[in-house]
Amino acid sequence: MAKQVPGKRYAQAIFELAGQQDLIEQCESDLASISQVLQDEDFRSFLGHAKVPMSDKIRSIETVFPDTNSLVRNLIALLISRSSIEIIGDVHTGYRQLVNEFKGRQEVEVTSALALNQDEEQRINDFVAQLIKKEVVITTRVDETILGGVIIQVGDQLLDGSLRSKLEGLRREIKSDVAKSPG
């Protein structure tokens, strides 16, 4: 078996435990919340600081996340004790991927030059769902440099319908034609 990065190993372990206890959805929600809060550099620094007693760190987690499932709270305590709290984002990402796989969903990233309205997002959702025969979970991103159109990332597949891509293709074609022409 290929070596997994630590975040994926922890995600796999908590996913299996959550499945045994019928807590998959709750753990996904709890990991999302904790991952979001731990983006705060000061709080993450506090939890990783060697001079702060472990009991204070655990108490702060229990205070900030009182309704968090014990599986997730124990995972956070383990990561803190191993000075690995910085991988919580990787754990959350890995866990979310496992849940999506389990539920037959596919994450799709859509990049557009302007924010998509709900109707446009739904049309893209329907198109991709029909294409891959799975439920689609769309994440949208705005990147003005693509000029227009959309870029759709489905796993390791990229559908580039951006105006920037089309213009670059046209530019390459013109350069190629100019290089081939005598003169």
pTM of the complete model: 0.74
Predicted pLDDT at 5: 78
pLDDT tens-digit readout, 140-177: 999 999 999 999 999 889 999 999 999 999 999 898 88
Q: For 16-74, what is each residue's pLDDT tens digit?
A: 999 999 999 999 999 999 999 999 999 988 988 889 999 999 899 889 889 999 999 99
84-137 confidence digits (pLDDT tens):
998 999 999 999 999 999 999 999 999 999 999 999 999 999 999 999 999 999
CA-CA distance, 131 to 161, in Å (whole number)?
A: 16
Residue ranges and CATH numbers for the domains of the chain are 6-100 (1.10.520.20), 105-180 (no CATH)
Which residues in 14-36 are b (16+ Cβ under 10 Å) and which e? bbeebeeeebbebbbebbebbbe
pLDDT at 1 over 70: no
Alpha carbon dihedral 163, 166, 171, 176, in 10-degree steps, equals: 180
